[in-house]
Structure 1
Amino acid sequence: MRALIAPAILLSLLCAGIASRVDAQIGLPSVQLPGVARTLPSLPEIATEPLIDVRDTLARARLDRIATLLRDNRDRIERDRNGQPAVRGILVATGVDEAMIARAAEDGFRLVDRDRIEGLDLDIVRFAVPDGHSLARAQKKLSKLLPDAEVDADHIYFASGPGGALPTVALATTASPGQARLGLIDGGVAAHPSVAGRVEQRGFAAGAPHASRHGTAVASLLIGSGRVRGAASGQKLLAADVYGSDPAGGNASAIVRALGWLVQRGAAVTTISLVGPDNKLLAAAVSRAQQRGMLIVAAVGNDGPAAPPAYPASYKGVFAVTGVDARNRALPEAGRALHLDFAAPGDAVLAATGVDATDRLRGTSFAAPLVAGRLALRYPAPAIDRIRPAVSALVFEARDLGKKGRDKIYGHGLICGDCGGR
């Protein structure tokens, strides 16, 4: 079993849940982007179709998105042994010592680099697959060769909402030093007035940081002020761009490095509106960040309820967030996680999308920062002993939707119902 945040505290919160809102109500939940193929389309046009048609449409959209990414970037991306997109020719591993590296080299696995992720105390080793081997074949071979290591592909993660590249525009910057309680892992953030002077950015991919629509939108929903008002309006933000201009950006190793930086900088709550498969490296990094007191909020994605469970939202201890429309109905395109914790507005959400642009957006990407922002107001700094009261307060705030008490559609209920320009 993977380690959890403060097992004595968080495990009880994760497992206990809440019998009802009367019974204490304190359980915790169990870039440049390389083209539109890297994000899900906005899907209002299918929302009125029969549910079965919606699921079929979403399934096709997901498969088409992956196929397009692979077709357009054959030199950088390929499928792993489970058919998931990953960085071509690269395997990532943890728990690897010098003897293991030598053993791998004897079988043709060339050491690309070693990296220690400060903040997480996590060592990453990257291997190039042997000539003539597919990633899928090499992944199976190296796992058998190094049974005591954790070996995986360097999976690609998608922004779980409409986005896309921005032209070369000014990046949002921090005007004055100071503690930031909020972290963001996404694309870069443009210098929109709603976030001006309150964003510190760092790149974890080629060409990063580079402003993106998606990263800018999520940032504005976290800390925006003025017309675009975020759930933690006026706060400072640490933004990690894991996409930049790299077609293979948004990979697991970039996200892990971003997590390490955010832990080092003291971010208490981090939003990740990205979705992809379970990944051993990412799972280890999430667990280590949690052990250091970081709370992570993630979107469940927009691939529909029939899609595979979304990660990182499905990891234990991560707050999984879905979206609702103006009538507080769950978005039909909302994906699923192994648990669901909260809902927030996810339709016609007003967000910044450029230096001087705003738009009404749809998707679970734009619900997650509303929950993260409200959580950050109650949890200003990483501190294990403050997790329970912060989560309790957030659950008390939630408006019960659907079946009484926590349920699989809305979690503990609706957070920030009047946010998002409603």
Structure 2
Amino acid sequence: MMNSIKLSLQANYFPSTRRALMRLGAAVVFVVSGHCLSLSAQEVEDQVSEIVSELTEERIEQVMEDLLADIESRISEDSLRIQTDHWLVMAEADVFAELEEEGYLFETVSELDGLGFLLAEVAAPASFDLSATREGIYDVIGGKRADIDLNHLYTAGVPNETKGQFDLVGMAPRELLSTPTDLSDLNLRIGIIDSSIDRTHSTFAGALITTKRFVENNAPPNLHGTAIVSIIVGSDPMALGLAPKAEIFAAEVFDENKEQGEFASTVSLIKALNWLVTSGVSVINISLAGPPNRLLETALNRVRQKGILAVAAAGNGGPMAQPMYPAAYPAVVAVTATDDRGRAFRLANRGEYVDIAAPGVNIRHARAGGGFIASSGTSYAVPFVTVAAARLMQSTSEPTAMLDRLYTSALDIGAPGRDQIYGYGQLRF
């Protein structure tokens, strides 16, 4: 009596895979009770090898198609994060003097007196060879004394819920962790780099907020900035901020258009950092993320050298996402988000650059236009660390020493020691 192997063909197999498996099932016939094989062992082996080869080639082709599609998608996405016709040069004044002597003339140059640099903006066609120009400038000045890069763009999460003031959702900032009793009375000086702020919101009544705009837009977006600032200085009891008496210096860096949505450019970020350095803040809250940029990294290094701490969102790209900047720079504190039970936010980036975790899930905050909503993301965790750091900076003014205290006091909630999900652990004041 003959028995045959039945192969289950799943609906998601490729058509040629089904055909190959059917051939394999037809070819392999076993004999029971002393009957002989219908095919020789060599013939079966040859057919199996042929079928496996077909399957392997098809799999490779499909994987390559998927990979190319993913690359094309990423290129399309990344093109929205770069102004390809706009490149930048940043260096100290003596470097620009040397470049001018060699014939390099820049039409638009801004003085960054707080950072100690000059910033040149250059318009060029998309086909412009940035690498060749960079090497040419390096040859002139005898080393990497200037930073040259494109004008990259950065984004921030936008609240996606709309709830009325009397339909409260989420948890107020002070409900998510214990705060020291002195926090309500401390006069902290905190810098914010974000979108505009709805200063007419009732939660900002009496708040000390100084703003400066770094985009040419008379009506820039204000959702995200309103949310972040309210987590710090909101005065409404329904969503009381962490440090209501803090003095806020808010740099408005976000622009908006139909193609790219809300975005901040490298130029606006660097000019914002320069202004905040001159404003005497101790900590700068940066609730945005994007690609690496040479000029931005150098500017943040200079900020740190001046004794000011930058705190940024780790990113909401998911556990497998690449590092996001500026959080991934060594001079910046990278903050991830957790929920009210200390569990990691499901969309938070992970990696060796993550420094510390703080509440960032279902956070109640002010909504531009009035009322309150709740949002989740690493952006909303940053203000918690910003306030804690600013408080510690009052007694430990050197950033490195202050961070030692901040990280040592964190609750280790992941793998023992620092890990890629929570960093040093959950923030504790």
Taking structure 1 as the reference length, the TM-score comes to 0.69
Q: Structure 2 vs 1, CA of residues 252 and 237 (structure 1 numbering), >3 Å: closer, same or farther?
A: same
* 2:202 aligned partner: 193
Cα pair 1:347 1:362 within 8 Å, conserved: yes
Distance 1:216 1:65 in 2: 31
For 1:144, the equivalent position in structure 2 comes to: 135
Cross-structure match for 2:313? 299
> Where does residue 379 of structure 2 map in the other structure?
365
Distance 2:131 2:254 in 1: 28
**Higher RCO (C-alpha under 8 Å, 6+ residues apart):** 1
Correspondent of 2:114 among 111, 119, 126: 119
State the SS of the aligned residue for 2:407.
helix
- Aligned with residue 389 of structure 2, among 371, 375, 380: 375
In terms of mean alpha carbon deviation, does 395-404 or 374-383 score higher?
374-383
User: Match for residue 97 of structure 1?
Assistant: 96
Q: What is the identity, as a one-letter code, of the residue corresponding to 1:93?
A: V
Residue of structure 2 in register with 1:36 after alignment: none
In structure 2, relative to structure 1, the CA distance for the partners of 1:388 and 1:127 (3 Å cut) is closer
Unaligned 5+ segments in structure 1 are 1-59, 71-78, 167-177, 418-422
- Letter of the 1:87 counterpart: Q
In the other structure, the counterpart of 2:287 is: 273
**Structure 2 counterpart of 1:236, one-letter code:** E
Provide structure 2 residue ranges, at least 5 long, that are not aligned to the other structure: 1-68, 163-185
- SS of 2:349's equivalent in the other structure is coil
Q: Give the corresponding residue for 1:14.
A: none
What's the counterpart of residue 191 of structure 2?
Answer: 183
Residue of structure 1 equivalent to 2:358: 344
1:292/1:382 contact within 8 Å kept: no
Q: 1:184: how far off? A: 0.4
For 1:397 and 1:268, the matched residues in 2 are separated by 20
Q: 2:168: which partner in 1?
A: none
CA distance in 2, matches of 1:316, 1:389: 15
Q: Which runs of structure 2 are paired with 1:63-74 in the superposition (5 Å)?
A: 67=76
Query: Per-residue displacement from partner, 1:78-105 (whole Å, max 9, x unpaired)?
Result: x3xxxx7222411101234245357575
Distance 1:367 1:287, change over 3 A: same
Structure 2 SS opposite 1:297:
strand
Instruction: Give the structure 2 partner of residue 254 of structure 1.
Output: 268
How far apart are residue 179 of structure 1 and its match? 7.1
* Identity, % of aligned positions: 30
Cα distance in 2 between the residues matched to 1:316 and 1:219? 25
- The equivalent of 1:31 in structure 2 is none
Change (3 A) 1:238 1:231: same
Q: Could you report, residue by residue, the CA deviation over 1:155-174 in whole angstroms, capped at 9, with x for unpaired residues?
A: 00111x2248x9xxxxxxxx
Higher helix residue share: 2
Q: Name the counterpart of 1:52.
A: none
Amino acid across the alignment from 1:85:
R
How far the C-alpha of 1:151 sits from its partner, in A, is 1.1
Q: Partner of 1:334 in structure 2?
A: 348
Question: CA separation of 1:216/1:63 partners in 2, compared to 1, >3 Å: closer, same or farther?
Answer: farther
Contact between 2:396 and 2:402, CA under 8 Å: does it hold in 1? no
Q: Please give the root-mean-square deviation of Cα atoms over the aligned residues, in Å.
A: 3.1
Q: Does 1:414 align with 2:413?
A: no
2-side partners of 1:258 and 1:293: how far apart?
17
Instruction: Report the Cα offset of residue 116 of structure 1.
Output: 1.4
Q: Hey, what's the Cα distance between the residues in 2 that align with 1:184 and 1:351?
A: 16
Contact 1:398 1:415 in 2 (8 A): yes
Q: Which residue of 1 aligns with 2:154?
A: 157
Look up the match of 2:81. Answer: 85
- Residue 231 to residue 392, structure 1, CA distance change in 2 (3 Å): farther
Looking at structure 2, the residues matched to 220 and 280 of structure 1 have their Cα atoms a distance apart, in angstroms, of 32
SS of structure 2 residue aligned to 1:274: coil
Listed as ranges, the matches of 1:395-414 within 5 Å are: 395-414=407-426
CA radius of gyration, larger in: 2
Contact in 2 for aligned 1:188/1:210 (Cα 8 Å) = yes
In 2, the alpha carbon distance for the partners of 1:312 and 1:357 equals 31
